[in-house]
Amino acid sequence: MYWVWAILLLVLGLGLAVMEVFFPSAGILGFLSASAILAAVIMGFQDGLGTGLTILGVAVFGIPVVLVLAFRYWPRTAMGRRVLLMAPRSDDVLPDDADRRHLKGLVGKVGRAKCKMLPGGVVTIEGRSIEAVSEGVPIEAGQSVRVIAVRANRAVVRLVEGETPSATAEDPLQRPIDTVVPDPFDGGEEG
């Protein structure tokens, strides 16, 4: 007859542990859960060694499993969504105006840089000048760029593959900067 009480106390203890996750009670439910599980193990051993070891094993492996599952599913519950406020996406907080929709429509399109982009500058796409920022690499004026994303009302552009500045271009603005102006740190006397 002790084994019935042991199982009931074990189920009660695991249920109280889950309730402590969903309804924090400053440790009161956790204390009651630990007390019920300890009482279940003691009752199990009073019934016999096999029953006691079984209840102990279920408690040792059941508590972590039940708590992990409770913490995993808690954010999906109504209370979990209220407590854990999800961070809004940029689309949720930025205004949906015509300029932003136009910028989003430019993703994937190719244009030309109007000025040297270190990393910000202006590009021309479909006859319109648009503020843009490069993906982190400097882009020379006149080079082809592709819009890859829109961030903070600016187009993020990447240099089109195979498009590298020519060191022999007639226009100095079309050449890489290190071919136009000598490096001030080269050729100096070492001292």
For the domain that residue 150 is a member of, what is the CATH number? 2.40.50.140
Q: Are residues 164 and 116 in the same domain?
A: yes
**Together in a domain, 98 and 173:** yes
Residue 28 in 3-state DSSP? helix
Asked, for residue 191, whether it belongs to a domain, the answer is no
**In this structure, which amino acid lies at residue 5?**
W
Q: Is residue 63 part of a domain?
A: yes
Q: Which residue has the higher pLDDT, 109 or 82?
A: 109
Residue 187, in any domain of the structure: no
Provide the mean pLDDT of the chain.
81
Q: Does the pLDDT at position 75 exceed 70?
A: yes
The whole-angstrom separation of Cα 126 and Cα 101 is 15
Residue 191 has what pLDDT? 46
Instruction: Find the domain containing 48 and state its range.
Output: 2-83
Tens of pLDDT, residues 35-61? 999 999 998 999 889 988 998 898 899
Asked whether residue 176 is assigned to any structural domain, the reply reads yes
Question: Is the pLDDT higher at 166 or at 15?
Answer: 15
Whether the upstream peptide bond of residue 24 has omega within 30° of 0, thus cis, is no
User: Is residue 51 in some structural domain?
Assistant: yes
The alpha carbon of residue 146 and the mean position of all alpha carbons in its chain are separated, in whole angstroms, by 25
> Is there a single domain that holds both residue 107 and residue 147?
yes
State which amino acid sits at residue 72: R
Question: 0.75 cut: is pTM over it?
Answer: no
Q: Are residues 73 and 108 in the same domain?
A: no
